[in-house]
Amino acid sequence: MSADRGILMMLIVTLSCYSFSSPCYSRTDTLQRGQPLKVWDELNSPNMIFILKFFSFGTSISPYLGIFYNPNQRRTRGQYDDYHLYGTDKPVWVANRNNPITDIYGKLTIDVHGKLSILSDAGTVVDLFSPTPVLTRNASATLLDTGNFLLQELYPDGSVKRLLWQSFDYPTDTLLPGMKLGIDLKTGHRWSLTSWRRKDLPADGSFTLSGDSNGTGQIVIHRRGNIHWRSGSWKNGGFRNTDLQYSGPDVCLYYVSNETELSFRYLARTYDSQPALTMRLDGQLKGSTLNVDVKCRSISDIGCVEYEFEELNCRKHYFVDKKYGNIYGDKYEYDERHNLSLYDCQRICWSNCSCMAYTYIIRILMQPQTG
């Protein structure tokens, strides 16, 4: 009888683990040295506003590590809903955007020296922080309610000794409240946003938003290294060439220009609307609590340096329409070393009267694309 009871108790424990949609693990906001974060694990910020976890697209297996707004938290309908654009909850930060994991054994680790790395079964995918000099350090990494992921060196009693690295210094395509956009004039470090290459490929795309390295005090958008748009100087709480739209008293804008840094940031009073300003695939800056008007339909538009598309006579009565299916006829394939984005493909086609359609082909999963 006692043996039967023991078997029954083991069955109950086993079933309890598989009765939930997610694996059994203890909820934590901190990654400790020697305790790697694996593909089925996640970190949760103290008030469950943000989640750090591995994610993937389609049939690929956990090729990226990202920070997401908690999908169970309140989201204001109609504001910055990128679900329709990306088809899933979109990460606000990607740790290895240009270095996807190649197998199913991805993990995030802190070694004895305080090095923060993403590893696979084949070896190191990317080192997020590599300390110099190489010394034995007690370090841990914590996800905050701001969405910032901090790596900190600790004293023997567990108190914080110093900050080693933070994700806020390395934005991808999204500016969260408290993140900076601009240049550290002492170190030369840039805080910038770069669009994704396509909606299911977070690798560097066509557009980058950053501070102007020429010292003009502006923020600029580059497209493939060429200046696409300038913000104009800061005046009366905004940039001259922008129409900053934000939700009144819920958002505060800050601009710093001194001998130390040139930077722009904003703060939000609440995270209910999941505030985020994103550099989209087409070079537009859109968000929930903050939008920046960046339209380049013609060279006469304020701030624009180049046309969004050349105005050809053959295109005056044409429009771009998305279709799914097969394409027949002659084709021209661009050298994939260009790493073209979907926007680049559209621009190349639209500036050539003989081009009737364009597509974007993935030759090798999660590798550079052709247009």
DSSP element (H, E) containing 83? helix 83-86
Distance CA 369, CA 288 (A): 30
**Which position has the token pair 């009737």?**
356
CA quadruple 39, 108, 98, 49: dihedral sign: positive
Q: Work out the average pLDDT over 65-92.
A: 68
Distance CA 29, CA 45 (A): 5
Yes or no: is domain 174-292 CATH 3.30.70? no
CB-CB contact of 199 with 205 (8 Å) = no
Alpha helices in 103-207 (DSSP H): none
Residue closest to 345 by CA, chosen among 363, 328, 333: 333
Strand-pairing partners, residue 209, are 193, 221
Fold match flag (30-169 vs 174-292): yes
Which range, of 84-98, 160-174, 221-235, averages the lowest pLDDT?
84-98
Distance CA 345, CA 277 (A): 25
Is 90 exceeded by the pLDDT of residue 88?
Answer: no
Give pLDDT, residue 272: 87
Residue closest to 368 by CA, chosen among 337, 335, 334, 333: 337
CB-CB contact of 132 with 114 (8 Å) = no
Give pLDDT, residue 12: 30
Residue 123, SS3? strand
Parse the chain into domains and list their residue ranges.
30-169, 174-292, 309-371
Distance CA 181, CA 168 (A): 10
| Residue 75 neighbours by CB distance under 10 Å | 18
Rg (CA), the chain: 23
What is the tens place of the pLDDT at every residue in 245-304? 665 667 888 999 888 998 999 999 889 889 999 999 988 888 888 877 776 656 566 677
- CATH class for the region spanning 30-169: mainly beta
CB-CB contact of 278 with 91 (8 Å) = no
What is the tens place of the pLDDT at every residue in 124-161? 999 999 998 889 899 999 999 999 999 999 999 999 99
Q: How far is CA 251 from CA 36, 73, 236, 263, in A?
A: 37, 19, 16, 17
What is the tens place of the pLDDT at every residue in 19-69? 333 444 457 999 999 999 999 899 999 999 999 999 998 877 778 999 999
Distance CA 89, CA 112 (A): 34
pTM recorded for the entire structure = 0.79
Q: How far is CA 174 from CA 32, 180, 232, 259, 276, in A?
A: 27, 11, 21, 26, 6
What is the tens place of the pLDDT at every residue in 161-209? 999 999 999 999 999 999 999 999 899 999 999 999 988 899 999 999 9
